[in-house]
Amino acid sequence: MVLAPALQADPIYPYTLKIFTSNGSFSDSNDLNLYVEVSDAGAGLADFTFYNDSLIESCIEGIYFDDGTLLGIASVTGSSGVSFSQPASPAALPGGNILEPPFVTSAQFSIDSDPPGPKNGVNPNEWLRITFDLKNNALFQDVIGELNTGAIRIGAHITALPDDSSESAVNYTPEPATICLLGLGTLALLRKRRV
């Protein structure tokens, strides 16, 4: 796994991106490992860092948000070779209308890779960080609460699979005990790095 540079020692909240479409033969592949880590960037900001640790060809080419406490994208950074801009095209998460409730987003809450898509998207061993402003004095814990209840959903469009298919995924909410254990594991790793 290629790690994005750490900005602070705050807890990190991981969310698996689970594919919900079945357009090709890789929609349920165990070799796809796509996830987002959410962390507090301070000063009314929240970081969403997307990772592609897949063992097969795949590319996160578009990212979509239900807005919740999010106000707007403040900045976008990524590993070498990753380049994204607003808004995403297509404007809606492909297949998002089959979810219950349907996945709804607006232009200011979507982003996709610059052409050519698969080359500039998030390919295996790459990452992309989207920093969001929070609205109306919302706190970072408000964002985590909304992610855990589904009030904020994150969608991703995955392309360049080995059979040339594309799929869509949404964030999977981990069990509270898992979040706690992962948070403790992150703290232990940060302490170990400081020694």
Q: What is the pLDDT of residues 170-187, one digit of tens each?
A: 998 654 444 444 444 544
**Domain definitions of the chain by residue range:** 12-194
CATH number of this structure's domain 12-194: 2.60.40
For residue 123, give the amino acid letter.
N
CA end-to-end span of the chain: 22
pLDDT at 108: 78
pLDDT at 172: 83
For residue 44, give the amino acid letter.
G
* List of residues 6+ apart from 166 with CB closer than 8 A: 23, 24, 61, 94, 157, 158, 159, 160
pLDDT < 70: residue spans in the chain:
1-9, 107, 173-195
154-174 as b/e: b if 16+ CB within 10 A: bbbbbbbbeeebbbbbbbebb
Residues 27 and 170 sit within 8 Å (Cβ to Cβ): no
pTM for the full predicted model: 0.83
